[in-house]
Amino acid sequence: MCWIYFLRCKSEVLTVFKKFKATIELQSGYKLKKLRSDRGGEYTSNEFNRFCDEMGMERQLTVAYSPQQNGVAERKNRTIVEMAKCMMFEKGMPLEFWAEAVNTAVYVLNRSPTKALDKKTPFEAYSGRKPGLKHLRVFGSLCYAHVPNPQRQKLDLASKRCVFLGYGSCEKGYRLYNITTEKVIISRDVVFNEEASWDWKAQQECSVSVPLTEIVSEKEKESNDTAVRQAEHTVDNEVLLEDSEEESMVGTGTQDIDHTSLKFKSLTEIYERCNICIIEPETFEEALKDASWQKAMETELEMIEKNDTWVLVKRPSEKPVVGVKWIYKVKLNLDGSVQKNKARLVAKGYTQKPGIDFNETFAPVARLDTVRTLIALPAQKRWKLFQLDVKSAFLNGVLHEEVYVDQPPGFLVKDKEDRVYRLKKALYGLKQAPRACGILIVSLYVDDIIYTGSSEELMVSFKSEMMKKYEMTDLGLLHHFLGLGVIQAESYIFLHQKKYARTLLDKFGFKDCKAVATPLSMNEKLSKEDGSEQADERVYRQIVGSLLYLTATRPDIMFAASLLARYMHGPTKKHMGTAKRVLRYIQGTLDYGIAYEKEKKAMLVGYCDSDWSGCEDDMRSTSGYAFHLGSGVFSWASVKQSSVALSTAEAEYVSAAEATAQAVWLRFVLSDFGEEQVEATPILCDNTSAIAITKNPVHHHKTRHINRRFHFIRDALQNGEIDLLYCRTGEQNADIFTKALARDRFEYLRSKLGVISAKHLEGSVKV
């Protein structure tokens, strides 16, 4: 339980503390025996010390500059302040109401469950009774307080507009700020409009209208079916007090119109939450209630035992024992249907100490560039891609360290409950687990394997050998991987994220929005300070984060997503409007993806470009590059340069150096795939000055200030790894990664990247 007092000066601390001591001792029936505080002068004064001595209280003072010794009070203070700040910023409240916000924050925290009290509220732990919550309202919202009949004439308004500030401390009512008289009043007959707030600068009401699905009120719910009632989590519209009195704080007079504010929540969000709660248990106890999850756990243990992963031994006295826990995940198909329930026994590797329990770590995770390369190359050679799913992640590689783990929850060996397992092979979650993996594969992402080859007999042999040695599931032809949809035909492979794009639009309310032809407007420039109001930072970050993931198969929105990502902190409504425009563009290109088709020769070709001083805030340039093997691009980027370029030639030179670094790495990857690039990789640039700088080894006044790390392009050129060639600006495919373009130019470059609609593919496949 938390109490808060507001002081005009620190000299009032002793007086307030005496009141606090008397109050809690009378209410709780216990004496205050110890007091812990910092070394502030208000707590170490002679008067304060004398009072504590007279009361027989033990003093505990922190060491100077060691606030962590009084961590409970420090953390509580921070929690209260941050909560009050959020409440004020949400409704745009002036700072003069900070005390009201802090007081309300404490009131709500005392009535919120906490893990420290085993999910009880502080109010219940202190008083022994559950608190009422139906009277809680949104701080700073507009409300209308009823004016009693004796205080108004017949034709006067029956209510006065106020701003909600909190709850009465001694009264059973609400603290309200009367906007007209600028005074704080207390009233119990109040009607709230929690969606609205008061604009303190314009002195007018403001509200945000969000087109969400309405959740019916308590009275209407009685007529609905049981399924809908379980999906709705509404708060009663009646305003009731803590002691659960039946009479409402709202006036009891007869009204023709119900002015009670309605509660809204997206129906999609409700269904998503219901699915999460139903199909993915968070604890072992929840999983026990479902037979399918019990079966999944038994299957996992069978795989562990079959791989000879551990042996049961006595608990060591000098070695730490690593805990284990169950992780539950439902694996879905690309269409959203359930593939299987997967239970994974993982070790709590975060408790391991380097040098004692492990020496090195390494994660077997393929980059998306590698995955796309692996898809582009088979498409060019007309190979088929297949997929295996490892039933036991990391394949339980051999351990060299001595590691012990607890027995898994719910599967203790009878009469040997005190024993532990000594690991002979790696278990998922250990620091050593990724390093211990040693499988020859084409591409590995934790426990998903993609493989391909020119010989069908070789692939069949590889699959059979892998499935003999390890527990695996043959998923056949590759259809989806890491959320990416894969369509394989005779002459092409199509990569898309239609399901994710549709989910993205549904999530942010753009399912039925009007589409636009381009993601960005040519005439609109973004900057940090554009004069518009602040937007919802949380929603903005969610949109941009989702767009960045969508760029895995959509290079046409790469520049837009990268541009929006520059304004994650403090986005404005102009930034939000631009992000929503990108969503509208996605609405019109839902079935778009990258098509990789067969070409005569798998030759790596790159494009690089820059937009000189394109950033309005720091005048830095934007670099862009793309690589392909003859059809769709499989590697691309759009990044802001790390330094200011003094000329277009310098900006293009830096962009070419970044493209060269990627080209060298891609040549290495292709060499590992057996497709060694014998000839130098051509990188096409539309700036002759940048090409001249590359081929001129002499440093002069135009290049001496360029960071030395960009000059390695000359070494790559001399080693025959790359060849920087000139191309016309009209044929520069990387132009789409550096700036907003007109519709005709954008659509032309989009098609050059291989980004097309599934309807335009041979046979018009459906995605």
**Same structural domain for residues 370 and 288?**
yes
pLDDT digits (tens, 9 = 90+) for 448-506: 777 777 667 677 777 777 777 766 777 778 777 777 888 888 788 888 988 889 999 99
pLDDT digits (tens, 9 = 90+) for 128-143: 888 888 889 999 999 9
- Supply 474's token pair: 């043959």
- Alpha carbon distance 413, 420 (integer Å): 10
CA-derived radius of gyration, the chain: 33
**Same structural domain for residues 177 and 213?**
yes
**Same structural domain for residues 253 and 307?**
no
**To which residue do tokens 């603290």 refer?**
175
Domain that residue 618 falls in: 600-727
pLDDT surpasses 80 at 235: no
pLDDT digits (tens, 9 = 90+) for 538-591: 999 999 999 999 998 999 999 999 999 999 988 999 999 999 999 999 999 999
User: What is the predicted pLDDT for the residue at 429?
Assistant: 55
- In DSSP terms, 711 is beta-bridged to none
Side-chain-facing half-sphere of 273: CA atoms under 13 Å = 10
Q: Are strands 338-347 and 385-390 parallel, antiparallel or unpaired?
A: unpaired
pLDDT surpasses 50 at 234: no
Domain boundary among 482, 517, 537: 482
**Domain presence at residue 696:** yes
Q: Are strands 755-757 and 592-597 parallel, antiparallel or unpaired?
A: antiparallel
Q: Work out the average pLDDT over 95-118.
A: 91
pLDDT digits (tens, 9 = 90+) for 578-631: 999 999 999 999 999 999 887 656 789 999 999 988 888 888 999 999 998 888
**Same structural domain for residues 191 and 224?**
yes
User: What is the predicted pLDDT for the residue at 442?
Assistant: 53
Q: Name, of 200-214, 337-351, 607-621, 739-753, the range with top average pLDDT.
A: 739-753
Name which of 393, 404, 396 is nearest 307 in CA terms.
396
**Same structural domain for residues 248 and 385?**
no
Q: Work out the average pLDDT over 380-390.
A: 71
- Phi/psi for 21 (5° steps) reads -60, -45
Q: Are strands 338-347 and 324-332 parallel, antiparallel or unpaired?
A: antiparallel
**Same structural domain for residues 237 and 383?**
no
**Domain presence at residue 116:** no
Burial (0-12, 13-18, 19+ Cβ within 10 Å), 211:
exposed
Domain boundary among 242, 268, 294: 268
* Better-scored residue on pLDDT, 328 or 21: 21
User: What is the predicted pLDDT for the residue at 253?
Assistant: 38
**Domain presence at residue 78:** no
Name which of 610, 606, 612, 634 is nearest 624 in CA terms.
610
**Same structural domain for residues 218 and 290?**
no
**Same structural domain for residues 381 and 235?**
no
In the predicted model, what is the mean pLDDT of the chain? 79
The total number of structural domains that make up the chain: 3
**Domain presence at residue 214:** yes
CATH classification of the domain holding 604: 3.30.420.10
- Supply 672's token pair: 């590992």
Name which of 326, 451, 448, 465 is nearest 393 in CA terms.
448
What is the percent of the chain where pLDDT is above 90?
28
Q: Work out the average pLDDT over 414-443.
A: 63
* Range of lowest pLDDT (468-482, 524-538, 727-741): 468-482
pTM for the complete prediction? 0.51
**Domain presence at residue 62:** no
pLDDT surpasses 50 at 363: no
**Same structural domain for residues 168 and 199?**
yes
pLDDT digits (tens, 9 = 90+) for 669-708: 888 777 778 889 999 999 998 888 887 765 555 565 565 5
* Range of lowest pLDDT (358-362, 582-586, 650-654, 658-662): 358-362
**Same structural domain for residues 242 and 309?**
no
**Same structural domain for residues 426 and 330?**
yes
**Same structural domain for residues 245 and 345?**
no
- Alpha carbon distance 403, 9 (integer Å): 58
User: What is the predicted pLDDT for the residue at 333?
Assistant: 64
Q: Is the dihedral of CA 555, 557, 562, 568 positive or negative?
A: negative
**To which residue do tokens 């999910």 refer?**
119
Domain boundary among 429, 457, 482: 482
pLDDT surpasses 50 at 660: yes
Helix, coil or strand: residue 143? strand
- In DSSP terms, 596 is beta-bridged to 493
pLDDT surpasses 70 at 37: yes
